[in-house]
């Protein structure tokens, strides 16, 4: 990941996590999301089944703040972003997710919050998972 031509974060094997923080999110969402990211079994085991977590394969997480995940296009053609958290809350929770993953033994690389980032991805699979903490109950 690059910001202004500078490399700010890079991983080899692992997960690219596009993290959208909503205005209703808080510490419980941080714990839930970090736990799921750490524990979800989406890497292949010796039999080719998705049965291993990111730490099991020696992987890392490239964590990217992505408020546009809250873009709502139900009305009109320009996305409404009113459900996204204000920048101060979003940054606090984004940094908390990174810290919670690190506390769980996962190497985390990040970009720069509120910066224009050039993110490159080699999608092996591909496997794409949507995780929404609002749907945990």
Active site residues: 66-68
Cβ atoms of residues 21 and 89 within 8 Å: yes
Q: How far apart are CA 105 and CA 46, in angstroms?
A: 23
Residue 17's nearest CA partner among 69, 61, 70, 50 is 61
Integer CA distances (angstroms), 43 to 37, 103, 106, 132, in order? 12, 21, 15, 20
Contacts of 18 (CB under 8 A, 6+ apart): 64, 66, 69
């Amino acid at each position: 990941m690059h910001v202004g031509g500078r490399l700010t974060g890079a991983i080899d094997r692992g997960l690219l996590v596009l993290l959208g923080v909503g205005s209703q999110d808080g510490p419980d969402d941080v714990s839930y999301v970090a736990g799921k990211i750490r524990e979800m079994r989406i890497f292949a085991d010796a039999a080719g089944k998705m049965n291993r977590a990111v730490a099991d394969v020696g992987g890392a997480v490239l964590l990217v703040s992505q408020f546009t995940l809250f873009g709502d296009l139900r009305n009109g053609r320009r996305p409404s972003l009113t459900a996204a958290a204000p920048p101060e809350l979003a940054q606090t929770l984004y940094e908390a997710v990174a810290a919670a993953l690190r506390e769980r033994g996962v190497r985390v690389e990040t970009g720069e919050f509120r910066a224009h980032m050039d993110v490159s991805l080699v999608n092996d699979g591909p496997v794409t998972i949507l995780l929404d903490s609002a749907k945990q109950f």
